[in-house]
Structure 1
């Protein structure tokens, strides 16, 4: 066997030329290594619709929570002498934004008739002479506050509850799911009405109702996904290597649960916004004189035939919020899902 073995000598080796060395270098992976968040952001930026929705929401957040800087008048200040004035933007002579109204086929200057002087309202006034622009900003702030509260309880309660229930399993899972079924059997509207018996109508009642019920769907979805993921090979390997449950949860479960969390969160937010607007519209939400998009739409529809702008503007803002959150959710789902393909 030793005689048949081929003898390797120094002559069998040949130095690599500069051209061959260049070809080897060209086969190296030159792209930088990206973390999970960096790769998700890179994919998210390619989604133009989601980026536009994000920009719209950022602008609305800035206008709403910085409303003290952008308000042209106090949102609750009344002036009956300036009631039902149309929108007026100085320097713009376009019907609908020049302070004129169509009465009996003629355009009249409503500001001159009301002796408004140098005052102007860029989105007009309501039936009590309150600035509609400032009130829309205030109502948007309430809607976004409700969205943030719903998001907090979805993440802080729903995700944690679902992961614990699915990860532990057994009688603990059964007991936790029975609690959810009891809460699901009580409609949200009943909860808010019962709360109003104890508390006065307003933000407190709505926030407590959301805190009690908004996280349930998130918990059920996360629990179902956790039951599936905890038997996957990568989780079993991590447990075999002695990883703690907390580390497995943050390192392995959350990245794979991120798409479910984002999808449900982006459905929860517009649902919570619409829930608050609906309650305020029917008169059991935010009470006067505080402004809400729901109360503004309710007030505007009373004069819709003659002054449609009083309902259109808050309705447009409410629609923008809900559409933007849904489009943003679709974009974040695609960006954060580890299984998604470009």
Structure 2
């Protein structure tokens, strides 16, 4: 069989000499040197939904902090003569904020009927007792966020040390600690909360403690699972060989490497606590009157939803935005801290 292939002839100009500076350029690392957290921040910035959620939550937190010292009016002050006024802004030319309502098939100016002084208006209207809904919403968001942060603090203070000790010790200690967790988790959260509210005066403290009793379990289990993996790593074994105490190993090696898991779980715990408080207040066993939280505002608004829907729309929108923003940010942080994430 004849070979029809032709010989390839190389000429002198077929090759190009590589100079020393070209070799240096090829071996040069073009990407900047980044730490783990710097790389996580870089990944997070690429997630537009997470970045928008972060800024939105920052604005909500600032909004809540301002409400500690200032609100348009006293959120608990009652003006029965101004009850159930619709939203109104300035001169009332913005649709939906005109201060007018449909009464008996006629559009009437509720502010004129109630003889509200000129220049006085309520941005989100008033409730059935004439309280400013905008001021109550500001206080409600602040109180709900405070409950969420305090309940999550229980997760960190109890769950992280519990998980680290359980995973580090192993053996019988780990078995006993996990059986204790299983006993607590077998009791429904709602039952524990109701018992706590019966034993103590209903309020912020009893709600936070009730949620904190069982809220740390998920954090403890996640930290324990990561600790079981980390304690077999070479740098941990080297530290143990050098005689480092377990406390120093935990602070220098375990906690920093657990930070991603802790941060992500914290972002999921905050909205869970906020929603649980809103549920308790909605069914009437949460924050007592006259204090406002998102749950109490929803509870008051649903009573008149058919006739005055705006009283429920605004707190419902607020809790929806907070829940969605926290979950989107948590998803973004999970992807940012996961080195396996494909870009």
TM-score, normalised to structure 1, is: 0.88
Match for residue 48 of structure 2?
48
Equivalenced residue count is 326
Match for residue 9 of structure 1?
none
Q: Is the 8 A contact 2:50 2:328 kept in 1?
A: yes
1:177 Cα deviation after fit: 1.5
Q: Following the alignment from structure 2 to structure 1, what is the Cα–Cα distance between the partners of residues 177 and 257?
A: 23
Match for residue 229 of structure 2?
228
Match for residue 286 of structure 1?
287
Match for residue 313 of structure 1?
314
Q: Is the 8 A contact 2:197 2:207 kept in 1?
A: no
Query: SS at the partner of 2:101?
Result: strand
Q: Is the 8 A contact 1:63 1:70 kept in 2?
A: no
Q: Following the alignment from structure 2 to structure 1, what is the Cα–Cα distance between the partners of residues 92 and 263?
A: 42
Match for residue 4 of structure 1?
none
Q: Following the alignment from structure 2 to structure 1, what is the Cα–Cα distance between the partners of residues 68 and 250?
A: 42
| More displaced 10-residue stretch of structure 1: 169-178 or 260-269 | 260-269
1:205 Cα deviation after fit: 1.0
Q: Is the 8 A contact 2:92 2:99 kept in 1?
A: no
Q: Following the alignment from structure 1 to structure 2, what is the Cα–Cα distance between the partners of residues 237 and 280?
A: 52
- Does structure 1 residue 269 correspond to structure 2 residue 276? no
Q: Equivalences for 1:160-199 in 2 at 5 Å?
A: 160-199=161-200
| More displaced 10-residue stretch of structure 1: 173-182 or 211-220 | 173-182
Distance 1:280 1:30, change over 3 A: same
TM-score, normalised to structure 2, is: 0.88
Deviation per residue, 1:241-282 (Å, 9 max, x gap): 655534543454345434432333222211111111111111
Q: Is the 8 A contact 1:136 1:292 kept in 2?
A: yes
| More displaced 10-residue stretch of structure 1: 142-151 or 225-234 | 225-234
Structure 1's unaligned 5+ residue stretches are: 1-16
Q: Following the alignment from structure 1 to structure 2, what is the Cα–Cα distance between the partners of residues 317 and 156?
A: 29
Query: SS at the partner of 1:101?
Result: strand
1:325 Cα deviation after fit: 0.7
Q: Following the alignment from structure 1 to structure 2, what is the Cα–Cα distance between the partners of residues 240 and 41?
A: 34
Q: Following the alignment from structure 1 to structure 2, what is the Cα–Cα distance between the partners of residues 266 and 161?
A: 19
1:59 Cα deviation after fit: 0.9
Deviation per residue, 1:64-95 (Å, 9 max, x gap): 12114551111000000100001111145133
Distance 1:337 1:297, change over 3 A: same
Match for residue 98 of structure 1?
98
Q: Is the 8 A contact 2:152 2:273 kept in 1?
A: no
Q: Equivalences for 1:105-184 in 2 at 5 Å?
A: 105-117=105-117, 118-184=119-185
Q: Following the alignment from structure 1 to structure 2, what is the Cα–Cα distance between the partners of residues 110 and 287?
A: 30
Match for residue 297 of structure 2?
296
Distance 1:223 1:105, change over 3 A: same
Q: Is the 8 A contact 1:121 1:133 kept in 2?
A: yes
Distance 1:255 1:340, change over 3 A: farther
Q: Is the 8 A contact 1:258 1:337 kept in 2?
A: no
Distance 1:157 1:339, change over 3 A: farther
1:215 Cα deviation after fit: 0.3
